[in-house]
Chain A
Amino acid sequence: MPTRTKTVLIWLLTFTVMLIICMPGLWIILSAFRTNGEILTKPAIWIPQNLTLDNFRAIFGFGENVIGVPVSSYFRNSLVISVTSTFLALLIGMTGGYAFARYQFPGKSSTFLWLMLSRTVPGIALSLPIFIIWSRLGIIDTKFGVILVYTAINVPFTVWLTEGFFRQVPNDLNEAAQIDGCTRWQAFWKIEFPLAKSGIASAGIFAFLTSWNEYALASQLTRSTDSKTLPVGLMDFTAQFTIDWAGMCAMAVIIIIPALILTFLVQKHLIAGLTFGGVKG
């Protein structure tokens, strides 16, 4: 096959694949700016006649079309829950990751394995006992209850990622700092932490996204406007008799935007962290 044809074929194939990846998302974004009337019209209108921000106004409770889904509360809940649980998971996971990277202790590898295995428990399976226990403890349907669970499900992966990033910082540097007059703690904060910082940040963003996107647990552990997160709130729309497609699309855009920005920020570190931790044992 001539090189030219081959190049064209490769580009054509790539274009198709990228189209499949992008199209559904783009379609949702487009729909978020259209009216329900236009979305429902038959035969389909392909070129939007008028784009509007009404859907966004409506889900945030402005404008005349009031919908019964309190998206701004859900947004606030999602933000509080994700940020808090990320911070806690990072604090706890980083401490653990540092221990795994720098110290030898009995039972180290099996502890690591068990920590990772705890991550495999399906959210829905874990939700059953937690639902019962949290109910008894009175923390069901509270932000605190969800934060606690999200912290725990984020810890294993944070440990795995930060362990990898700390291991990339040579132990020599920590020792050199101690000889230069640092305490162990100073050596960590002044040398090791700054060097692993970008990796730790990406572990944090990964944890944030996990919390931000989680559904299986939150859908059972939250019931009220005070604790429901955005993914759970999205299902509010389907509970109604006629689905407000445009409103759902607008809410989907709200959910995806923070995730989109954060992922762009860390994509490089994330891949490095995943492959490094896994391959270079």
Chain B
Amino acid sequence: MSKFSRAIRDHAVPLALIAPSILVILVVVLLPLMFSFYTSFTNYRLIRPDTLWDWIGLRNYQRLLADWDFWVAFGRTILFLTVALNLELLFGLGLALLVNKITWGQRTLRTIMMFPMMFSPILVGFQFKYVFNDTIGLVNNALQSLGLTEFAIPFLVDRWLAFFSISFAEIWMSTSIFAILILAGLFAMPKDPIEAARVDGCSNWQVFRHITLPFLMPFIFIAMTIRSLDVARAYDVVDVMTGGGPAQRTELLWTLIARTAYDDARMGRANAMAYASILLSIFFTWYFFRKLMDARKHLGAF
């Protein structure tokens, strides 16, 4: 007690300054999460408020483990994130290196690169719903006008094409975060090591592989960390593009949560799923944050 109150007294100013931040997070994030943790052990249904007290222990979680739809959506989410994050990194790196090569008009290109970042995810979803539409979509119109296909291609209906379409939207939206941060890394990079490596007889590829890439790693991990903070933004994109349909063909964990909670009104069960999604997000963020710290330590005091 005395040690605690003494710590408070010695650090009264900073503690008072961070108190509002803590308080608002406590009220809007932490307490609701504790509440939803509780409801995940009940049979709570929105339409029957008294079911909030209907304690059913681990049954929601047990059902979840046996729920084929959940596992399909979960697996699809993992696949979706793996594909999207890897391609975003790859394209982002390529784009950054490309823009870095260009000297004339580079500022304009950088500004254009930020374009997708300012789009609301819901707009990105709408945009690609429009572009990939089978009757009036830009892509189908173009393919038909060029005579490449006679029939409309069902981009948002076919199982794999729909997966491709939502992945495309997601990658379109987030590649620029990687490109911009990696470009910032390229700008910050000292020239000496590259020149030294050239003198030591490295080829362009070797310079990239052994000098440039290791230097860029922290920037890549920052991008990954920032990116993994809101992987769940994909919900907005998918919700407007396909709504998880048709027939759950593009169902991701997040759309399944929304459907279970608000359409089926099974709050308790949805909360159990929500915890799976929270753990997933935290896992991604924590993983890349660790990588970032390691990379920073590795590069030392630059």
Using CB atoms and an 8 Å cutoff, list the residues of chain A in contact with chain B: 10-11, 13-14, 17-18, 20-25, 27-28, 31, 39-40, 42-44, 46, 91-93, 95-96, 98-100, 102-106, 111, 115-133, 148-149, 151-153, 155-156, 159, 209, 212-216, 219-220, 231, 234-235, 238, 245, 248-249, 252, 255-256, 259-260, 262-264, 267, 271-272, 274-275, 278-279, 281
Q: Which of B15, B24, B122, B261 contacts A155 (CB 8 A)?
A: B24
Chain B residues near A255: list those with CB within 8 A. Answer: 120, 123
Determine the main DSSP class of B at the interface with A.
helix
Cβ contacts under 8 Å, B120 to chain A? 212-215, 231, 255-256, 259
Report whether B11 and A105 are in contact in the complex, using a CB–CB cutoff of 8 Å. yes
CB atoms of A152 and B29 under 8 A apart: yes
Q: Are B109 and A18 in contact (CB under 8 A)?
A: yes
Whether A117 lies near B24 (C-beta < 8 A) is: no
Instruction: Name A112's closest neighbour in chain B (CB-CB).
Output: B18
Which one, A43, A133, A235, A281, contacts B32 given CB within 8 A?
A133
> Chain B interface (Cβ within 8 Å of chain A)?
7, 11, 13-15, 17-18, 20-22, 24-25, 27-33, 35-36, 39, 46, 95, 98-99, 101-102, 109-123, 126-128, 130-131, 135-136, 138, 141-142, 144-145, 172, 176, 180-181, 184-185, 188, 218-219, 222, 225-226, 228-233, 235-236, 239-240, 254, 257-258, 261-262, 267, 270-271, 274-275, 277-278, 281-282, 284-286, 292, 296
User: Which residues of B lie under 8 Å from residue A118 when comparing CB positions?
Assistant: 25, 29-30
What would 5 A/B residue contacts be, using CB atoms closer than 8 Å?
Answer: A22-B115, A116-B229, A128-B270, A151-B24, A209-B118
| B274 contacts A128, C-beta separation under 8 Å | yes
Complex A-B, nearest 5 residue pairs according to Cβ-Cβ distance, in ascending order: A122-B232, A213-B120, A152-B28, A103-B14, A99-B17
Question: Are the CB atoms of A155 and B25 closer together than 8 Å?
Answer: yes
Flag if A43 contacts B145 (CB, 8 Å). yes
Q: Is the CB of A126 within 8 A of B32?
A: yes
Complex CA–CA separation, A116 to B286 (angstroms): 10
CB-based A-B contact count at 8 angstroms: 273
Asked if residues A105 and B172 are in contact (CB atoms below 8 Å), the reply is no
Q: Which of A121, A125, A259 gathers the greatest number of chain B CB atoms within 10 Å?
A: A125
Are A129's CB and B32's CB within 8 A?
yes
Quick check: A213 and B25 within 8 Å, CB to CB? no
**A13, A23, A231, A279 interface centre (most CB from chain B within 10 Å):** A279
Partner of B25, one of A21, A152, A235: A152
Which of B110, B119, B219, B261 has a CB less than 8 Å from the CB of A256? B119
User: Are A148 and B28 touching (Cβ within 8 A)?
Assistant: yes
List the B side residues contacting A133 at CB < 8 Å: 31-32, 35
Contact residues in B for A123 (Cβ distance below 8 Å): 232-233, 235
Taking A99-B14, A129-B39, A213-B120 as known contacts, 11 extra A-B pairs with beta carbons closer than 8 A to each other, sorted by chain A number, are: A14-B109, A42-B135, A43-B144, A98-B17, A103-B17, A125-B257, A148-B27, A212-B120, A252-B126, A252-B127, A271-B184
How many angstroms from the CA of A237 to the CA of B290 in the assembled complex?
A: 43
From residue A32, how far is it (CB to closest CB) to chain B in Å? Answer: 11
CB distance from A278 to the nearest CB of B (A): 4
Bound CA–CA A42/B30 (angstroms): 53
Chain B residues near A99 (CB-CB < 8 A): 13-15, 17-18
Whether B240 contacts A235 by the Cβ 8 Å rule is yes
Q: B11's contact among A103, A124, A125, A231, by CB below 8 Å, is which?
A: A103
- Docked Cα-Cα span, A40 to B232, in Å, equals 33
A264 to B261, CA, bound (A): 38
Query: Which B residue sits closest to A232, measured CB to CB?
Result: B122
